[in-house]
Amino acid sequence: MGGDSSRWTQDKKLRSLNPLFRAKVGAVLARLRKRGFQPSVFYGWRSVAVQRELDRLRRTKVTFSSHNAQRKDGTANAYAADIVDARWGWAPAAKANGFWAALGEEAKAAGLVWGGSWATFPDLAHVPYHPNSPLAQVKRESGL
Ligand SMILES: [Zn+2]
């Protein structure tokens, strides 16, 4: 797998998620649609090469993320999804229309984590399956 996985179809992005995680993401998307939003997965799985490029552009703080997870045979098995409203993306209108707050509520209700609640580096669209490791959190809180 290569190329820019942000350009994949919604279906392919969803299939790139770990199955347990995918079920929860599906619930979050359904709840958001019920609330009148137009949720869209921007990134499901992405390659380590794309991750390094995002790091070079300073659009991420990590060189390996839950988006990069794969099975040993190379099949995408991501444990994070970036979810935006198709109308607004990351534009100020997303916040103004309450999309990020709704995403946080629904992610937590589904038992997932919401990156927008991270104090030092809020990552508004980022919904991972696992909390960040306690050590990583200690490191961040130490400003290191
Ligand atoms: Zn993300």
> Which residues have CB atoms below 5 A from the ion given as ligand 1?
80, 82, 126
Report CA(102)–ligand 1 centroid distance (Å): 17
H/E run at residue 94: helix 92-96
Report CA(22)–ligand 1 centroid distance (Å): 14
Confidence of residue 47 (pLDDT cuts 50, 70, 90): very high
| Residue (of 140, 124, 130) closest to 62 by Cα position | 140
The answer to whether residues 128 and 80 touch, using CB atoms and an 8 Å cutoff, is yes
Q: Does residue 116 sit in helix, strand or coil?
A: helix
| pLDDT per residue as tens digits for the range 82-117 | 999 999 999 999 999 999 999 999 999 999 999 999
pLDDT mean across residues, the chain: 93
Report CA(82)–ligand 1 centroid distance (Å): 5
Q: Could you tell me the domains of the chain? A: 5-141 (3.30.1380.10)
Report CA(80)–ligand 1 centroid distance (Å): 6
Confidence of residue 63 (pLDDT cuts 50, 70, 90): confident
